[in-house]
């Protein structure tokens, strides 16, 4: 049996194609967040804490589908920047935005909207929305089957 060519593999491999696309999206996100004091990945943590003041780290991990070690690292950096604070509540530690952290939310939403506008411009709005929907569904299925 003949092995597939690298050209075939590079254009028909979900892993390679998804990684390639993720790198391009990372560039768009870096551009959109270039004026902020946080990387794009931290933005989702901030807006989730804004939506759920006093959220536990466990619940935050669940909502963002991230590992506890990742959330600890992100939270520690945001605490250091004085955007987030931890407050004890009995045996639990709850996470809140500081005033400074809350003041970032409008700029975060603006930056996220800029990412959306940019990829919609490049791909076309309909194609972008379909891709978001398909990737969301695929992510849900992958997570469900990898537990």
What is the model's pLDDT at position 33? 94
DSSP string, 30-76: HHHTTTSSS-HHHHHHHHHHHHSTTEEHHHHHHHHT--HHHHHHHHH
What's this model's pTM, rounded to 2 decimal places? 0.85
List the domain boundaries for the chain.
Answer: 12-36+104-147, 37-101
State yes or no: pLDDT of 108 exceeds 70: yes
Place of tokens 């299925």: 141
pLDDT-derived band at 1, boundaries 50, 70, 90 = low
Domain 37-101, what fold? Arc Repressor Mutant, subunit A (1.10.10)
Q: Could you give the CA distance from residue 43 to residue 123 in angstroms, rounded to a whole number?
A: 24
């Amino acid at each position: 049996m003949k092995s597939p060519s690298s050209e075939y593999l590079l254009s028909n491999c979900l892993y390679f194609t998804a990684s390639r696309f993720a790198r391009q999206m990372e560039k768009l996100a870096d551009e959109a967040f270039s004026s902020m004091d946080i990387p794009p990945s931290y933005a989702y943590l901030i807006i989730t804490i804004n939506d759920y003041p006093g959220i536990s780290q466990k619940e935050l991990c669940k909502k963002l589908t991230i590992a506890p070690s990742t959330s600890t690292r992100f939270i520690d950096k945001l605490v250091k920047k004085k955007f987030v604070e931890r407050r004890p509540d009995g045996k639990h530690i709850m996470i809140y935005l500081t005033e400074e952290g809350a003041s970032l939310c409008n700029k975060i939403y603006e930056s996220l909207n800029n990412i959306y506008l940019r990829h919609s411009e490049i791909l076309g709005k309909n194609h972008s929305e379909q891709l978001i929907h398909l990737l969301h569904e695929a992510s849900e299925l992958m997570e469900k089957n990898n537990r």
